[in-house]
Amino acid sequence: MTRLEADYDGWVIAAAADSLATYLPVCPPQVRILVWHKGNAIPSGSRIANQWEPVLARVPDGRSGRTAGAAVNDVLTVGISYRYSYVGSKPCP
């Protein structure tokens, strides 16, 4: 986290729900938690279906206003793309 903050003016981390307890204590206060809702996620053996993934986003200082750039929703609803052959591939909306 120290390196991300030092080397980049903004960043995004796609995480797992159970990793939030690890990431959040070391994140700066400006971090936003976004949601990737994967409506077509593969069912697992768990009783609770994993249909979402947290995405941590650090918007660069001075760019959070509506004066420039496209608006971005804090929830992305896009199914898993099966065109890639590796687990964890992310959508390209």
- Per-residue pLDDT tens for 50-62? 788 899 999 887 7
Neighbours of 46 (CB within 10 A): 7
Asked if residue 93 belongs to a domain, the reply is no
Q: Which domain holds residue 30?
A: 2-77
Backbone angles phi, psi at 44, to 5 degrees: -115, 180
Which portions of the chain are predicted below pLDDT 70?
41, 43, 63-69, 80-93
- Per-residue pLDDT tens for 39-49? 776 767 777 77
**Domain total in the chain:** 1
Q: Global pTM?
A: 0.73
Contact 37, 76 (CB under 8 A): yes
Asked if residue 88 belongs to a domain, the reply is no
Asked if residue 25 belongs to a domain, the reply is yes
